[in-house]
Amino acid sequence: MQKKHLEKSIFKKIIDGDLPSEKVFENDQLIAIKDIAPVAPVHLLIIPKKCIESIQVMQPEDLPLLQEVVSVAQTLAKEHGVANGYRLLTNSGTDAGQTVFHLHFHLIGGKILGPMG
């Protein structure tokens, strides 16, 4: 296993309060924060508190978290004025562009989004 996977991730540090963030939601299972480098007017990150590297290694017992992610995404999309159109996505693995190895979902909207590439 690579060293980066053993270190406390940036998102774990944010969850633990070791690093600052612009938090827009928190409950016992998830936090949601503003992305530090937004690609659209609305770019939020919905982050399960449990340390799971990516969607690819989620275990069956963790799958209810996905339900919670969708529910929180729907609420945040309304609150941030993008309920008419947004993307909810997760990058799994370096080939997909994952850079932080702690499961998270991008909620992106607020402009006309181009085709997926």
Residues that bind ligand 5GP (CB under 6 A): 10, 21, 33-37, 45, 91, 97-100
Nearer to ligand 5GP, 21 or 69 (CB): 21
Q: How far apart are CA 19 and CA 100, in angstroms?
A: 14
Measure the CA–CA gap between 74 and 96, rounded to whole angstroms: 24
Enzyme catalytic residues? 104
Looking at beta carbons only, is 23 or 61 nearer to ligand 5GP? 23
Nearest to 74 by CA among 46, 47, 98: 46
Smallest separation, CB 54 to ligand 5GP (Å): 9
CB of 104 to ligand 5GP, least distance (A): 6
State the nearest-atom distance from the C-beta of 80 to ligand 5GP, in Å. 15
Per the structure block, which two tokens stand in for 68?
């919670």
